[in-house]
Structure 1
Amino acid sequence: MIRVLGQFWRLLGLCISGRGGKLGLALFVAVVALKLLGVYATLRIISWTKDFYSALEAVDAKAALTQIGIFGIIVLLNSIRELSSQYLNKLVLIRWRRSLTEAVRDRWLRGKAYWRMADGSAVDNPDQRIADDCRLFVSGVLSEALDLITNIVAIFSYVALLWQLSSFPLSLNFIGLDFEIPRYMLVAAFVYVALCSLLTHVLGSPLKNLYVEQQRREADFRFALARMRSNVDEIALLNGEAAERRTLDQRFGGIMRNWRQLINRELILSCFTHPYNHTVLRIPLFVALPAFLAGSVNFGGLMEVSSAFSSVVTTLSWFIFSYKDLADLVAASSRLDGFLRSTEGNAGPAPVMQPGNGPLRISGLNLTLQDGRALLGVDNLTVNRGEAVWLAGASGLGKTTLVKAVAGLWPHANGRIETPQGSMLFLPQRTYVPIGDIMDAVAYPATAEAFLPEARQAALEAVGLGDRLNVTLGTGETGTGGLSGGELQRLALARLLLHRPDFAFLDEATSALDVAAETDLLALLRRELPDSAFILVAHRKPQGLGTLTTVELGAAPAAPATPLEPILA
């Protein structure tokens, strides 16, 4: 329980501390005030109940009509209060959801946590955590917190009223002994709800874990569908429909298996809560009936004390009525808390990264796989600005891993890397395209506004994409806007022309181009960026860069690397 409350406070703190969160808190206070006015309205209705039924008992038509008018005014004012409360509550919801979403998003992006978590071993489906769980938590915590605060205040008001109204005792005879229970209706309310709440928790406690598992399996199914959409060409060429159907059936089968467990548990809980919900408004009348039959109260008093008893029981029954929603809220907060803790994890051991005084220097570097198996080793490598270096070696040796290590993205290594003085830009084999048009994509990772439209257009035209200026990327089945693999790599090279880095790393960045096109484009890069260093990973020797230094990479020693803590440049 303490752990769950700690999760709530942490997440609620993120909601309040973010952009617009404090205004959301002020609006929340206003919503609470409106909710508390609802308590007063309920007390007024209880008082009205006595007056109305007393008028009916006395067959007083004028008094009854007066009470009907009073009832109409109460309902009108209460409706205005409720509508205002709902509107302000929705304003709080969207503000706090924005604050929490931005906080979770920023922690996911900070320190490349999204990259460290990409294998899914710590947290699965981060998109679901950010998109769905933030929404579920804020909506859940607002709803339940408002109910809890209102009910805490209301219970004191209703108990005080019931205490005043139930001054009569209940006389009983048990095995020849006569005894009385003073203010028995108040005692009955607490005993009745306490026993029912305990039974509700016993029956419904497994729901939290089942809700967590259901959300995970739903997200896994969505991920499989999205992955298929992003690889439609490859699947179609391989006639992989049957294999994809098996994968989707397997994922959906997991949904169904957990769903059966979930609905079975909900059925067990509902077998108790459903009758409880239907009888909770009738029980007060039955409990107050002995006092009426004994002549302790008249008919109007019977209805008033029954209404007060009902308000006490209904308020105390908040836990019972909200159990499923509370379980869903606890599940969402648990998933979010686990996600945030994963983003705070240490990136792990990495080669020592130190800022150098000019060139890129690598010395005594050994790379390994996660299981400790050796990849490649680099004894000594220096690359100055203006140079072009081809990293050659056997396929599978770990050349791409070396580029990742220079970028600080490979923790399984030891040695020394002195990052160069100046800017670096890395071009992987698979070009990433963000959502937007191609004029925005060529500026990535900077904003489009960082470059003049003329400069962006000139860069695209220089690499042969002048006829593709109206392409929209990041949408459709593949998200490539119809660009071929070669055109996507041309787009990446246009980014080099636009950003003009001091050191450019090309990892198979021209593999989809023919030799002539590759030669022309690399020659263009050398002309336009004469002072930039180019470090290339490619299966064939690159042409067009002028003087090219070839570095033949070899395997690292078999002994596992001794990790050192990173000092990131």
Structure 2
Amino acid sequence: MDDDLARTGFFHRLLYVATPFFRSEQRLAAWGLLVVNVITVLVIVAMNYALTVWNGSFFDAMQRYDVAEIWRLFGIFLGLAAMVVVINTASQYFAQIFQIRWRRWMTGHMVDGWMDREAHYRMQLDDRGIDNPDQRISDDIDFFTGQTVNLPLSALQSVVTIVSFSVMLWLLSRNLRLFGLYIPGLLLWMNLIYAIGGTWLILLIGKPLFWLNNIQQRAQGNFRFELIRVRDNSEAIATAHSGDAEATRLKRTFAPVVEIFYRRVYRTVFVNTFNFSFNTLGGLLAFGLVIPSYLAKRILIGTVSQTNNAFGQTQQAFAFILNNFSSIGQGYLSITEWRAVVDRLYTLEVSLRRHHAAATAPRIAYARGDEAGLAIEGLTLTLPDGRKLLEGLDIAIGPGERVLISGPTGSGKSTLVRAIAGIWPFGEGRVTMPAGRVLFVPQRPYLPNGKLIESIAFPYGEALEPARVAAMLERVGLGHLAGRLEAEQAWDRELSLGEQQRIGFARCVLLRPEVVILDEATSSLDEDYEARMYRTLLDELPGVTLVSVGHRSTIIRYHARRLRLTGDGGWRVEALAAETPAA
């Protein structure tokens, strides 16, 4: 997998990202839309060729004052114009349908991969720098599919245009002379030299744009992430009256975006200057090659017009890469931005596959047992840099047993919970979990946006009886929410942390798991509410297997044993005098 990540060939990365769609369950639609788009491109080239031929014939008829031919050609033009409108409209429609179908599939594929086997969490622990995966999924996939539909079709149109209009330029060159000399295919060779030379120069001038576009997207993602952090911590910032300091920090984070943008602007000025000059001088070159023959009365004005049109069509076909380089202010990416996006999606895809492989063959082995308890055997936990947090832990927690995990800050209590949950990849040993439900309640319970009753039912999503939910909210001191079960809100922002923690306890009772693991789940509650939550839990679920992580001495009485982590990798198990749950 690391070999894949190290491969830097652009076409390898492009195929790696693009081909899964054409092998997926959507492959028939994918190939069908591709074929339709190819056909529309070929018809567009045919229409352009026909219009160019018509242009020459029409102006020749004008020069000869052939009234009948003029009106005949005028009627033909109306038919051609109608066909051009239809085919160009169809081309845009089918290209957009192709793009959205591809984007929908690819977004689902990436989201599934990101969420599968907790890859989204594991990536945060990885130090290999897959930054802003959310931006890559939301923005980069949109850019990638749009440009990957547009550029290959543009390339196909350019190739077909070159072939067809090269024949036309060769034929139009028969009556031309350059300084009195007849050169077969004069227009074609001059156009080749001009277009290829210009494209090579623009590639040379625009090469740094690839690197600049890549780091600008990274800088923009970092700035957006900092804005989100401010939004999520707005209360802490407001109570600390640190708005000015945060504004300074945000501006400092935004500064690289401005700096890189200016560097892109300066580089693009060179690209655009050459681009405009190239296109303008191309038209003059075409006229310069045919005007002498026209003045010598070897060709008619229609041939001049047809030559100019054919020269322009072929020139743009050769230089289509050039015409995609200057994209500041446009709604689609340039080739350099496209390459940067391909690079970002490729590294994300490879990283997801690497984390999936690591999750499939973890160093910490996980198994499911038949009983409602859990067992930990020979568990050693380390930090990503290899430092040991815990060594050789062996403990069996039987059905209905209640165990408290305590220890000094940084001793690995929360990391042990993550290891039990199967999301901590650094370490070795064995964890056996019960076959039934295990509910983890962190310090900040996750409350999905949407209806409150559905948020409480997370993560199982089962249909809960509203009356039962309302009664439980009363028990945990949240009776004011009983009438809002169907309300849709961002509940993690609507409720205080203390209210969210009480929701966590209500969730435990309503979902009735066999094992509950509380990680600092009462840190924002006073002692009275803390006691109320524990008593409610133990009264409603008297046979539950309970594991708590906490610092407070007030929760000791709800547990029969304590696993004390010493902070140096050591541990010991102590007996406690636990309260008996009410009958």
The alignment's TM-score, normalised by the length of structure 2, stands at 0.88
1:467 and 2:480 are equivalent in the alignment: yes
Given residue 522 of structure 1, which amino acid in structure 2 is its aligned partner? Answer: Y
Is the aligned partner of 1:345 residue 2:357?
Answer: no
Partner residue, 1:334: 343
Q: How does 1:62-461 map to 2 (within 5 A)?
A: 62-119=68-125, 121=127, 122-168=129-175, 170-172=177-179, 180-324=182-326, 325-346=334-355, 347=358, 350-358=363-371, 359-377=373-391, 379-447=393-461, 449-461=462-474
**Shift, 1:60, TM fit:** 3.2
- C-alpha distance 40-380 of structure 1, shift in aligned 2 (>3 A): closer
Deviations along 1:354-381, whole A, 9 cap, x unmatched?
4445332223333333334343446432
Instruction: Kindly provide the amino acid, as one letter, of the partner of residue 118 in structure 2.
Output: K
Q: Aligned to 2:459, what secondary structure does the other structure show?
A: coil
Distance 2:43 2:169 in 1: 19
- Cα deviation, residue 512, structure 1: 1.7
* Superposed CA offset, 1:374-402 (max 9, x none): 43446432111111111122233221111
Give the SS at the match of 1:431. Answer: coil
Q: CA deviation at 1:406?
A: 1.2
Distance 2:433 2:158 in 1: 61
Alignment match of 2:500 (pick from 456, 465, 488) = 488
Q: Structure 2 CA distance, aligned partners of 1:86 and 1:371?
A: 52
The alignment of Structure 1 onto Structure 2 pairs a total of residues equal to 549
Alignment-derived partner of residue 28 in structure 1: 34
For residues 287 and 468 of structure 2, the distance between their equivalents in structure 1, rounded to whole angstroms, comes to: 81
Q: Contact conserved, 1:387 with 1:533, CA < 8 A, in 2?
A: yes
Distance 1:127 1:396, change over 3 A: same
Question: Does the 8 Å contact 1:497/1:529 carry over to 2?
Answer: yes
Does structure 2 retain, via aligned residues, the 8 Å contact 1:378–1:553? no
Report deviation, 1:217: 1.0
Residue 339 of structure 1 aligns to which amino acid in structure 2?
A: L
Distance change (3 Å), C-alpha of 1:465 and 1:24: farther
Distance 1:246 1:18 in 2: 48
* Partner-residue secondary structure (3-state), 1:165: helix
Question: For 1:23 and 1:450, how far apart are their aligned partners in 2?
Answer: 36
Equivalents in 2 of 1:371, 1:116: separation in Å?
A: 15
* Counterpart contact for 1:162–1:305, Cα < 8 Å: yes
Cα distance change of structure 1 residues 515 and 433 upon mapping to structure 2, 3 Å threshold: same
State the AA in 1 paired with 2:547. Answer: I
Q: Among residues 551, 561, 569, which one is paired with 1:549 in the alignment?
A: 561
Cα distance, 1:453 vs structure 2: 4.3
Q: Which residue of 2 aligns with 1:564?
A: none
- Opposite residue 522 of structure 2, the aligned amino acid is T
Q: Which residue identity is paired with 1:488?
A: Q
Measured in 2, the distance between the counterparts of 1:40 and 1:152 equals 13
Quick one: distance in 1 between partners of 2:367 and 2:392?
Answer: 17
Residue 445 of structure 1 aligns to a residue whose secondary structure is coil
Partner deviation per Cα, 1:146-173 (whole Å, 9 max, x = no partner): 1112222222211122222322464558
Against the structure 1 CA distance between its residues 547 and 556, is the aligned structure 2 distance closer, same or farther, given a 3 Å change threshold? closer
Counterparts of 1:522-537 in structure 2, within 5 Å, are: 522-537=534-549
Letter in 1 for 2:98: V
Compute the displacement of 1:29 (Å). Answer: 1.9
**Aligned-pair Cα RMSD in Å:** 2.5
CA contact (8 A) 1:390 1:542 kept: no
Deviation digits for residues 12-66 of structure 1, max 9, x if unmatched?
2233345645324312322221222111111111111122111221133443344
Tell me, yes or no, if the aligned pair for 1:24 and 1:91 is still in contact at 8 Å: no
Q: Aligned pair in 2 of structure 1 residues 260, 481: CA closer, same or farther (>3 Å)?
A: closer
Moved more, 279-288 or 399-408: 279-288
- 1:211-236 Cα distance to aligned partner (Å, 9 max, x none): 11111111111111111011110001
Q: Secondary structure at the match of 1:187?
A: helix
Distance 1:112 1:468, change over 3 A: same
- Whole-angstrom distance in 1 between the partners of 2:475 and 2:150: 57
Structure 1: unaligned runs, 5 residues or longer: 174-178, 559-569
Encode CA deviations 1:167-204: one digit per residue, 9 max, x unaligned.
2464558xxxxx65222111111111111111111011
CA drift at 1:488: 0.3
Q: Specify whether residues 70 and 107 from structure 1 end up closer, same or farther in structure 2 by C-alpha distance, changes over 3 A only.
A: same
C-alpha distance in 2, partners of 1:199/1:91? 35
Report how far residue 487 of structure 1 moved.
0.9
Q: CA deviation at 1:501?
A: 1.6
Contact 2:411 2:568 in 1 (8 A): no
SS in 1 for 2:339: helix
User: Are the equivalent residues in 2 in contact too, given 1:374–1:555 (CA < 8 A)?
Assistant: no
- Confirm or deny: 8 A CA contact 1:25 1:92 kept in the other structure: no
Shift of 1:551: 2.8
Between 264-273 and 22-31, report the one with greater CA deviation: 22-31
How far off its partner does 1:496 sit? 1.0
Quote the Cα distance in structure 2 between the aligned partners of 1:377 and 1:541: 25
Q: Which residue of 1 aligns with 2:579?
A: none
Kindly indicate whether the alpha-carbon contact (under 8 Å) linking 1:15 and 1:97 is maintained by their aligned counterparts in 2. no
1:217-260 CA-partner distances (Å, limit 9, x unpaired): 11111111111011110001111112211211111111111111
- In structure 2, distance between residues paired with 1:161 and 1:441: 67
Q: Is the 8 A contact 1:388 1:545 kept in 2?
A: no
Code of the aligned partner of 1:307: N
CA distance in 1 between partners of 2:304 and 2:194 (Å)? 20
Distance (Å, rounded) in 2 between the aligned partners of 1:502 and 1:465: 25
CA distance in 2, matches of 1:373, 1:8: 39
The TM-score, its normalising length taken from structure 1, stands at 0.90
Change (3 A) 1:94 1:314: same
The structural deviation recorded for 1:309 is 2.4
Matching of residue 516 in structure 1 with residue 531 in structure 2:
no
* Amino acid paired to 2:75: G
What's the secondary structure of 1:433's corresponding residue? coil
Question: In 1, are the aligned partners of 2:17 and 2:349 still within 8 Å (CA)?
Answer: no
CA distance in 1, matches of 2:479, 2:29: 48
Tell me which residue corresponds to 2:57.
51
Work out whether residues 445 and 501 of structure 2, in 8 Å CA contact, stay in contact via their aligned partners in 1: yes
Distance (Å, rounded) in 1 between the aligned partners of 2:305 and 2:64: 14
Match of 2:511 in 1: 499
Contact kept? 2:177, 2:183, Cα under 8 Å: yes
SS in structure 2 at match of 1:426? strand
Cα distance in 2 for residues equivalent to 1:395 and 1:486: 22
Identity over aligned pairs, percent: 30
Contact 1:168/1:291, CA 8 A, preserved across alignment: yes
For the 8 Å contact 2:446–2:492, the answer to whether it is kept is no
In 2, the alpha carbon distance for the partners of 1:94 and 1:53 equals 43
How many Å apart are 1:273 and its aligned residue? 0.8
Q: Distance in 2 between matches of 1:442 and 1:459?
A: 11
Gaps of 5+ in 2: 1-6, 327-333, 571-583
